[in-house]
Chains A and B, each alone.
Chain A
């Protein structure tokens, strides 16, 4: 990946290398074929350049908005209520065994790497 961006000029001249695209796809756990990698690289670059207009807005002393609601730390009493049973929860599972979801052994994936 390129070095972190700091200036307006850097952002508007943003380019995405094939390595950048591969890195982001790996973070997103998204398989892409060669044609998709090329197309997405070009499209994301165009979108990011469009988005660079944000840098023109003065946001010194402006706080971030994560959500517009004014609710904070919504809590409830810790009471047990009705919930889905295992059978209903597992009904859409691609593979299951008894009360469990089944995946291939995790260790193998780490070894494969």
Chain B
């Protein structure tokens, strides 16, 4: 699908790209990993993808994902699970598991995912690649099948920070087709990428190194902090005391928005329809057959949280605690230039290991506060535990996306974790 007249001056011209299957591409089946969108063929291409096509990138395939991007293991797809290239019996993370795995396996140099609570950074961490979630509003959501609109952002996966930054720079910037797209000038997000980190103050949030973090993850990230310190950064402990409530805020706000966004899948205009004599019964039967268990769980949870009598106790309360979490990040950024911490509390876990929803939801406990506050965040490879990758997360204030790249790249250049490749010869 090479564009007829691509920008041959772009460094991205001719570079293969894989797209998470929540990104609409004109005339290419786009399913969101859901039975309800089987055979859905979008009539238009989303803005972020179109800009990459304009730069000459070539889409070589759509990648599997958790249904409607809801999941942390890629086990929720209607079309089967995705294996982790480092150990195919283990999950690649989610929800952008296919996009992460295909870059980790070396099939493509870069891919796009979407990140609502960690769905780019967590699979990047679990598969040993770079994954970047931009500041909310920097990349247009036009043409992204919506999960939770106040949290969703499109972002890149790549083998290096430089590549991720190039892809981001080509797709970011204001889009009048997304009313939440921010109009302030983008500048060149890659211009300071090699500027080094000397003198930068890096905050180490106590709450991100607490209970539930695997010892090997903690050790690898602490080693990474020492590397950054040796490069001239100043490490400083900070506290984000309401971090432990982040999961609860997220699991009200994201399902609430999802229950509203997914109302459009009613069997009338697109997607699956299960015919019944009455329209109401058609809605019920279509959604019963079309949605998988995790989507049903979240639609139910969100509908409950928004329902009369419960709205104040759950939804409004969660929105207020979201404000508290946002304010704590703002206060931390008065003391430090960026935050550094683990991306995921654990390395890749075995398929089928987290059948209890709450244990699965805890996979995103270190990434979802970043979405609640709309911050930019990246995961870069920082080590291994028994042959499974570990990721370092770098988080910056809103619109300081280029600072995230600069810090992540400085770390990457000082280490060689990103050059490791999975032992794919072992795969039959």
Interface residues of A (CB under 8 A from B): 1-6, 11, 21, 23-25, 27-33, 36, 40, 43-44, 46-48, 50-57, 59, 62-69, 71, 74, 76, 84, 88-89, 91-95, 101, 103-106, 108-109, 112-113
Q: When the two chains form the complex, which single residue of A11, A53, A76, A112 contacts B281, counting CB atoms closer than 8 Å? A: A112
Contact A112:B277 (CB < 8 A) given known A30-B300, A63-B323: yes
CB 8 Å contact bits of B119-143 with A (1 = contact, 0 = none): 0000000000000000011000000
Contacting residues, chain B, for A46 (C-beta < 8 A): 357-358
Stretch at the interface among B37-45, B154-162, B420-428: B37-45
Closest 4 CB pairs of A and B: A31-B288, A109-B278, A68-B374, A94-B273
* Bound Cα distance A64, B282 (Å): 37
* Bound Cα distance A3, B268 (Å): 35
Near A by CB (< 8 A), chain B positions 235-285 give: 242, 244-245, 247-249, 251-252, 259, 263, 266-273, 275-285
Task: Judge whether B180 and A62 touch: CB under 8 Å.
Answer: no
Task: Judge whether B300 and A68 touch: CB under 8 Å.
Answer: no
Contact A112:B252 (CB < 8 A) given known A47-B358, A92-B269, A95-B273: no
24 A-B contacts (beta carbon < 8 Å): A1-B307, A2-B309, A5-B310, A30-B288, A31-B285, A46-B358, A47-B357, A48-B301, A51-B251, A52-B248, A54-B317, A62-B321, A62-B323, A64-B320, A65-B319, A65-B320, A66-B150, A71-B179, A89-B269, A92-B43, A101-B269, A103-B279, A104-B282, A113-B278
Task: Judge whether B358 and A68 touch: CB under 8 Å.
Answer: no
Task: Judge whether A71 and B272 touch: CB under 8 Å.
Answer: no
Q: Is B147 an interface residue (CB 8 A)?
A: no
Q: Is B51 an interface residue (CB 8 A)?
A: no
Task: Judge whether B180 and A29 touch: CB under 8 Å.
Answer: no
Contacting residues, chain B, for A95 (C-beta < 8 A): 273
Contacting residues, chain A, for B316 (C-beta < 8 A): 64
Q: When the two chains form the complex, which single residue of A2, A28, A69 contacts B300, counting CB atoms closer than 8 Å? A: A28
Task: Judge whether B297 and A104 touch: CB under 8 Å.
Answer: no
Number of chain B interface residues as a range: 35 or more
Task: Judge whether B278 and A69 touch: CB under 8 Å.
Answer: no
Known: A27-B307, A53-B245. 14 other contacts (CB 8 A): A4-B308, A28-B287, A30-B284, A44-B301, A47-B251, A48-B301, A57-B245, A59-B323, A59-B324, A64-B323, A94-B272, A101-B269, A103-B279, A108-B279
Contact A30:B358 (CB < 8 A) given known A69-B180, A71-B180: no
Task: Judge whether B252 and A51 touch: CB under 8 Å.
Answer: yes
Q: When the two chains form the complex, which single residue of B136, B282, B297, B307 contacts A44, counting CB atoms closer than 8 Å? A: B297
Contact A89:B296 (CB < 8 A) given known A31-B288, A50-B358, A94-B267: no
Q: When the two chains form the complex, which single residue of A44, A54, A92, A106 contacts B318, counting CB atoms closer than 8 Å? A: A54
Task: Judge whether B277 and A104 touch: CB under 8 Å.
Answer: yes
Q: Is B3 an interface residue (CB 8 A)?
A: no
Closest residue of chain B to A103 (Cβ to Cβ) is B279
Q: When the two chains form the complex, which single residue of A4, A59, A69 contacts B320, counting CB atoms closer than 8 Å? A: A59
Contacting residues, chain A, for B9 (C-beta < 8 A): none
Contacting residues, chain A, for B212 (C-beta < 8 A): none
* Bound Cα distance A95, B267 (Å): 9
Q: Is B168 an interface residue (CB 8 A)?
A: no
Closest residue of chain B to A16 (Cβ to Cβ) is B304
Contacting residues, chain A, for B318 (C-beta < 8 A): 54
* Bound Cα distance A111, B288 (Å): 22
* Bound Cα distance A3, B285 (Å): 30
* Bound Cα distance A111, B375 (Å): 50
Q: When the two chains form the complex, which single residue of B43, B280, B310, B324 contacts A109, counting CB atoms closer than 8 Å? A: B280
Contacting residues, chain B, for A33 (C-beta < 8 A): 288
Contacting residues, chain B, for A67 (C-beta < 8 A): 136, 150, 180, 374
Task: Judge whether A25 and B300 touch: CB under 8 Å.
Answer: yes
Q: When the two chains form the complex, which single residue of B136, B280, B303, B307 contacts A68, counting CB atoms closer than 8 Å? A: B136
Shortest A76–chain B CB gap in Å is 6
Q: When the two chains form the complex, which single residue of A23, A50, A74, A93 contacts B179, counting CB atoms closer than 8 Å? A: A74
Contacting residues, chain B, for A88 (C-beta < 8 A): 43
Q: Is B1 an interface residue (CB 8 A)?
A: no
Q: Is B401 an interface residue (CB 8 A)?
A: no
